[in-house]
Amino acid sequence: MINLTLKEIAKITGGKIKGKENFKITEICPITECGKHGICFLEKLENLPTLEKLTAGCVMIPEEANKKDFKFSGNILYCENVKIAFMKLLKYVDKISDRHPKTVSSKAEISQKAKVSTTASIGAFSVIENGAEIGDNSIIYPNVYIGKDVKIGAGCIVYPNVVIREACALGNNVILQPGCVIGGDGFGYVFDGKMHQKIPQIGRVLIEDDVEIGANTTIDRATLKETFIGKNSKIDNLVQIGHNVKLGTSCIIISQTGIAGSVEVGQGTIISGQTAIKDHVKIGKFNTIGPRTGIMKDTKDKETLFGFPPTTPGEYFKIQAVVMKLPKIYKLLKKKFKDEL
């Protein structure tokens, strides 16, 4: 629940009001479930006719709609970019909510040699080891392990059951969703003729500002030096990132992707779900890699790749169209070459 006037919401979002400035909004809703004191958004102008039957208290719509003829009985908030305006409203509501812990629990285990900001919050049963540092306004939920000499910047949120192992570092405003592991050992072994011998992993993980890492994702520490996650990158749930990977700024990695050791991913690249990337490969900048793609060699900048072996989207879908016809083709071939098939 919220309690904001349209005037307050306009100030938060930068929108322009058509309606009652003092109208009270008490909930943020999807457009399909929006009530008389709710606010929702409509992004596509072709859907404006659906507003005629809507009972929402306010709808956020694009500024261009001001020139269109449509009917709506409620209040309107015209926005330059509806999605960004809606995001600003959600961020404001999230910031003022009391869902995050705001104290240091007496049940937390904090080393006397750790440095914890007086404005940080630490949940029950979390462990903070020698030499660790927690920055201003960072929030550590219950049951988190923060290893020796870990550095966590300001404004970070670390959710329950996260493990951050020794010497790893987080910048500012990093979000770690439940259960992710930062700095587990990289998968490094050498066969000595009799058995696999473990190669010690003595590097670390460095995560820059404004990165979000999803639930149960694992980022391995480097064998030497560091595994690096660039600013503003967003990593989904259930992703595996191997040792010494270098991930550029503002990358997106979607669920169940596996990136092997020493891969370099250029800035702005989007990697779709269930993609696999071979070790030591270099991915160019602003690539788009489709789901279930297998990358075995370097790519150039601004490539769009699908499938295994990867190819262009057009070629990929042509291949899939032929694959779907294989049973029919086989039936025809078997009829013609029945003694050979």
- 243-264: average pLDDT: 98
14: nearest Cα among 111, 86, 75, 98 = 86
Helical ranges in 23-136 per DSSP H: 82-96
Distance CA 50, CA 52 (A): 5
- Residue 243 among the catalytic residues: yes
- The reply to whether the predicted model has a pTM over 0.85 is yes
The model's pLDDT over 162-216, given as tens digits with 9 standing for 90+, comes to: 999 999 999 999 999 999 999 999 999 999 999 999 999 999 999 999 999 999 9
What's the pLDDT at 84? 96
Say which residue, 288 or 94, is predicted with more confidence: 288
- 256-279: average pLDDT: 98
Q: What does the mean pLDDT of the chain come to?
A: 95
What's the pLDDT at 337? 83
The model's pLDDT over 128-137, given as tens digits with 9 standing for 90+, comes to: 999 999 999 9
End-to-end, the C-alpha distance of the chain in Å comes to: 68
Token pair 């960004």 in the structure block, residue: 84
What's the pLDDT at 213? 98
Going by pLDDT thresholds of 50, 70 and 90, the confidence category of residue 341 is: low
The model's pLDDT over 60-105, given as tens digits with 9 standing for 90+, comes to: 999 999 888 888 989 999 999 999 999 999 999 988 887 888 899 9
Alpha-carbon distance values, 307 to 114, 177, 236 (Å):
48, 30, 20
What the chain holds in terms of domains, given with CATH numbers, is: 4-96 (3.40.1390.10), 109-315 (2.160.10.10)
> From the candidates 100, 196, 243, 280, which is the catalytic residue?
243
Going by pLDDT thresholds of 50, 70 and 90, the confidence category of residue 253 is: very high
